[in-house]
């Protein structure tokens, strides 16, 4: 009888310990980015890991080998199979990801996106810059550099990345309204997540358009590629390249004026926000008006479209680039 009681007690204790451990387990958070191995997303990876360690959450990044939406779908499918509690995504193609994100939600997985406002299949999307503010800031800087005259071209990461195209829309609309002597070349080119494609496209446009005065490149590799083209063709001071880019990657081009500047938000901070939001949502804490969230500040969520958008623009210029690069950005 004593042996039976001891065995029952041990089994009960073991079960209680297992249940307590299960209850205490915050779950895994996997974040799928556009492409791995580039400075922008390396910085985001650092933010994800550091915030995960601070909060005691197993948080990690998955970086596909190329900016291919199919690779993102495969990565998300893998995270679903792993049974993670939260999937974060920086989409390459918002439409292509809708079915797999919806599948994740149907299986009880929380979905958070970034750089994709109003993403279907997501619980929430967060942005560190409004699309209008970001696009117009770059447009104003380009107009300042060119004197408000001449032709310009627009690069985006892909024609299917909603946020890049929203920035482009805002920039083009601003220039059309305020600087009618500036003319857009073509429509826009979906090359700005590939440095080689950005460079070759810029070289072609420089050859085809003698009055070309500027590039607005929305995508972290766009300014780098266009800047290299400017340097190769000895057009520094004649053609101006503006856009968001990794300060560490573009510092030399910026200091030589092959890139004329731009604005960004901190990708490391974005990585931290992924984990912070994941932690809140896993605890059942829904964002509310005037919530103070680390990395976002005081928020005013758009509950209808499930967006949390704040403006935290960081200028990239000769005065700021060294300090930004020293932060690992």
pLDDT band with cut points at 50, 70 and 90 for residue 92: very high
Q: Which residue is associated with the tokens 């993102």?
A: 72
Q: Residue 198's Cα: distance from chain center in Å?
A: 18
If you average pLDDT over residues 301-319, what whole number do you get? 95
Query: 136: which 2 tokens?
Result: 């117009």
Q: Where are the domains of the chain?
A: 19-129+266-314, 131-263
Q: What is the DSSP letter of 319?
A: T
**Cα 92–Cα 97–Cα 100 angle in degrees, nearest 5:** 145
If you average pLDDT over residues 198-202, what whole number do you get? 98
Mean pLDDT of the chain: 91
What is the CATH number that goes with domain 131-263? 3.40.50.2300
20 has pLDDT over 70 = no
pLDDT band with cut points at 50, 70 and 90 for residue 18: very low
Between 39-43, 55-59, 202-206, 231-235, the lowest mean confidence (pLDDT) is in 39-43
303 has pLDDT over 70 = yes
Q: Are 211 and 235 in contact (CB under 8 A)?
A: no
Residue 315: closest CA among 223, 243, 236, 224: 243
pLDDT band with cut points at 50, 70 and 90 for residue 327: confident
Reported as a single tens digit per residue, the pLDDT across 104-142 is 999 999 999 999 999 999 999 999 999 999 999 999 999
Distance CA 195, CA 79 (A): 29
**What pLDDT score does 109 carry?**
98
14 has pLDDT over 80 = no
**What pLDDT score does 25 carry?**
57
Spatial neighbors of 93 by CB under 8 A, at least 6 apart, are 69, 72, 158, 160, 161
Distance CA 201, CA 191 (A): 8
Helices (H), the chain: 2-24, 39-55, 69-82, 94-106, 131-146, 162-178, 195-208, 222-232, 247-255, 267-282, 321-326
User: pTM for this one?
Assistant: 0.74
- Common-topology check for domains 19-129+266-314 and 131-263: yes
Query: 109: which 2 tokens?
Result: 């997985």
Cα R_g (the chain), whole angstroms: 23
22 has pLDDT over 60 = no
Query: 286: which 2 tokens?
Result: 């829904």
Distances (CA, A) of 10 to 1, 93, 100: 14, 53, 43
Largest Cα separation within the chain, whole Å, is: 96
**What pLDDT score does 24 carry?**
45
**Of all residues in the chain, what percent carry a pLDDT higher than 90?**
85
| Superfamily (CATH H level) for 19-129+266-314 | Response regulator (3.40.50.2300)
**What pLDDT score does 225 carry?**
98
């Amino acid at each position: 009888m004593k042996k039976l009681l001891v065995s029952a007690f041990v089994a009960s204790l073991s079960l209680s310990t297992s249940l307590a451990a299960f209850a205490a387990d915050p779950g895994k958070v996997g974040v799928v980015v556009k492409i791995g191995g580039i400075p922008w997303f390396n910085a985001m990876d650092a933010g994800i890991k550091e915030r995960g360690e601070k909060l005691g959450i197993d948080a990690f990044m998955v970086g596909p080998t190329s900016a291919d939406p199919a690779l993102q779908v495969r990565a998300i499918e893998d995270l679903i199979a792993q049974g993670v509690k939260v999937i974060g995504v920086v989409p390459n193609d918002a439409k292509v990801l809708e079915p797999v994100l919806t599948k994740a939600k149907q299986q009880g997985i929380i979905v958070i996106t970034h750089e994709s406002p109003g993403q279907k299949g997501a619980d929430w999307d967060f942005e560190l810059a409004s699309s209008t503010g970001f696009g117009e800031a770059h447009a104003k800087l380009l107009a300042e550099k060119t004197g408000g005259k001449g032709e310009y071209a627009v690069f985006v990461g892909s024609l299917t990345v909603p946020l890049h195209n929203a920035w482009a829309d805002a920039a083009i609309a601003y220039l059309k309204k305020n600087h009618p002597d500036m003319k857009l070349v073509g429509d826009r080119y979906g090359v700005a997540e590939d440095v080689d494609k950005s460079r070759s496209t810029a070289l072609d446009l420089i050859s085809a358009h003698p009055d070309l005065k500027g590039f607005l490149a929305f995508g972290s590799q766009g300014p780098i590629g266009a800047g290299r083209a400017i340097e190769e063709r000895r057009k520094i001071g004649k053609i101006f390249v503006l856009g968001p880019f990794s300060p560490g990657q573009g510092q030399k081009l910026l200091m030589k004026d092959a890139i004329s500047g731009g604005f960004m938000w901190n990708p490391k901070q974005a990585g931290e926000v992924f984990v912070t939001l994941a932690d809140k949502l896993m605890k059942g804490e829904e964002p509310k008006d005037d919530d103070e969230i680390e990395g976002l500040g005081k928020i005013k969520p758009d509950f209808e479209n499930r967006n949390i958008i704040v403006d935290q623009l960081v200028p990239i210029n000769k005065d700021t680039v060294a300090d930004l690069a020293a932060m690992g950005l």
